[in-house]
Amino acid sequence: MKPEHRSRYADLLSDPSDEALDKLIQELDAGYAAPPRPDDLSWEAAQQYLTSTSWSTSNEVLPLLPVRPLRRRVLRSKKVVFLAVAAIVMITVLSVALLNVIAPSHFQHNQPALAGADAQLLQHLVMDKGTPPNIRQLFQSRQFTPVSLPSNTYNVHIQSVYADANNVILLYTAAMSAWEAATFPGGSKSFDSPGPENEPVLTVKTSTGQMLPEIVERVDMGKEPVGLQSSKNKQFAILGYYDASVVQGDPTQLTLTAALSKLVSPSQERIGEFTTPVHTEKKAINVHQTAFSNGQAFTLDRVVMTSTEARFYYDYQGPLADSNNSGKLTGGGALSIAGKTYDRNPIPDDNSGEVYGWFGPNTGYPNYVSFHETLLDQTGAWVFTEKAVDLESPYSHFTWQFAFTVS
């Protein structure tokens, strides 16, 4: 059969390819186009089968074509189809590979680039020695989710967000005038006497309308000295911690809405809505221990650890907890794990030249003590110490200590 085929047409393929293609076409014919293969299959039997088959369109019976011309045309057609399919498959594979290379880069650079001054402020804020190392590590390992919500008013730009069971953390820049309006509502512009009802620049709500209170914020005001009355800074960068413990359940993602606070914008201009995954890694330890100092009972209820914070919840009902006594009480705490000591809120205030400090809203003392460390993998014997001083007569010191084991 082969010599006769080669004498009838000029083959487009080499001899080995022609033989392999013939074999493939025969297998495809037998498997998908032809009836069950007879045991006595031969070219003569195939020819007899084809001549006995009636080819018709509507009611018109068409004459049968000779076997060899039919075979030749089908073969040429299938060769063309085979080559076309191969080309399509190759193009598809190359396209998918190209998309896999381009897609991550496109995602990272798809968002509008921040202005040079904004980018420098944010970079300086994250890398500064006063920013907790765990935040720097999370940012460098791309655990923060990119956000792009520019605001025409006060030039607010949210760069990224991180969320876990303890905190939602925003990293953004805004006009200095917005921060001044939020921090110094009385107009004094003095760090020694800030406004009595200072607020965060941005408020954050969940999709259910739950407000996330801002706990603390770390601010980078640029290279100008702090004297705000003569400051030439146009922008500032801020790392804001918002309390995520008020969110019910254990969601794997949050849809949040950012808006300007009332002190900055009476209409609370809406910056925009964004969605962030929630990093669900956490460890909760129920302690339920009560200690006494100078007759004052202090109960350590539980400890919740995430990548952004170890939070020690307590219950204290003594006279020092009265809101009217908040000015008389100074607190301090420490944590010891396997001989290593961690200080409460180990975040220095740098008051020289460039200012990097923590400025929390004036909401009173929370019912927990924070250690801005990643302690999820720390096991063994933990010793937590809480201290307080009553500045009124009689001058009194209080110390409560708790020991428990974390496995």
Q: What gap in Å lies between CA 302 and CA 304, rounded to an integer? A: 7
Residue 322: count other Cβ atoms within 10 Å of its Cβ.
Answer: 11
pLDDT digits (tens, 9 = 90+) for 137-156: 999 999 999 998 878 788 89
Residue 23: count other Cβ atoms within 10 Å of its Cβ.
Answer: 10
pLDDT, residue 405, reads 94
Query: Is the four-CA dihedral 161, 162, 163, 169 of positive or negative sign?
Result: negative
Average pLDDT over residues 345-372: 62
Average pLDDT over residues 371-376: 90
- Answer whether 194's CB lies under 8 Å from 181's CB: no
Higher pLDDT, 343 or 340: 340
pLDDT, residue 121, reads 86
Q: How many DSSP H helices and E strands does the chain contain?
A: 7, 20
Instruction: Grade residue 219 by pLDDT with cuts at 50, 70 and 90.
Output: confident
Question: Residue 186 pLDDT > 70, yes or no?
Answer: no
Rounded mean pLDDT of the chain? 74
Question: Residue 357 pLDDT > 50, yes or no?
Answer: yes
pLDDT, residue 358, reads 67
pLDDT, residue 184, reads 75
pLDDT, residue 351, reads 46
pLDDT, residue 364, reads 53
Residue 53: count other Cβ atoms within 10 Å of its Cβ.
Answer: 8
Higher pLDDT, 64 or 218: 218
162 beta partners: 169
pLDDT, residue 28, reads 64
Q: Would you call the peptide bond into 150 cis, given omega within 30 degrees of 0 as the criterion?
A: no
Higher pLDDT, 37 or 204: 204
Question: Can you read off the two tokens belonging to residue 31?
Answer: 């498997």
pLDDT, residue 252, reads 96
Nearest to 314, CA basis, from 304, 329, 322: 304
Nearest to 257, CA basis, from 236, 239, 276: 276
Coil, helix or strand at residue 191: coil
Fold of 116-277: Immunoglobulin-like (2.60.40)
**Which CATH number does 283-406 carry?**
2.60.40
Query: Is the four-CA dihedral 167, 171, 175, 177 of positive or negative sign?
Result: positive
Question: Residue 93 pLDDT > 80, yes or no?
Answer: no
Q: What gap in Å lies between CA 80 and CA 212, rounded to an integer? A: 65
Residue 237: count other Cβ atoms within 10 Å of its Cβ.
Answer: 28
CB neighbour burial string for 326-343, b if at least 16 within 10 angstroms, e if fewer: eeebeeebbbebeeeebe
pLDDT, residue 114, reads 61
pLDDT digits (tens, 9 = 90+) for 256-306: 999 999 999 999 999 999 999 999 999 999 999 999 998 889 999 999 999
Q: Domain segments of the chain: what residues?
A: 2-109, 116-277, 283-406
Question: Residue 71 pLDDT > 90, yes or no?
Answer: no
Strand duo 235-243 + 167-175: pairing: antiparallel
pLDDT, residue 21, reads 66
Note the pTM of the prediction, 2 decimals: 0.68
pLDDT, residue 278, reads 97
259 beta partners: 203, 270
> Mean pLDDT highest for which of 9-23, 336-350, 353-367?
336-350
Question: Residue 169 pLDDT > 70, yes or no?
Answer: yes
116-277 matches 283-406 in fold: yes
pLDDT digits (tens, 9 = 90+) for 3-27: 454 445 455 555 555 666 667 666 6
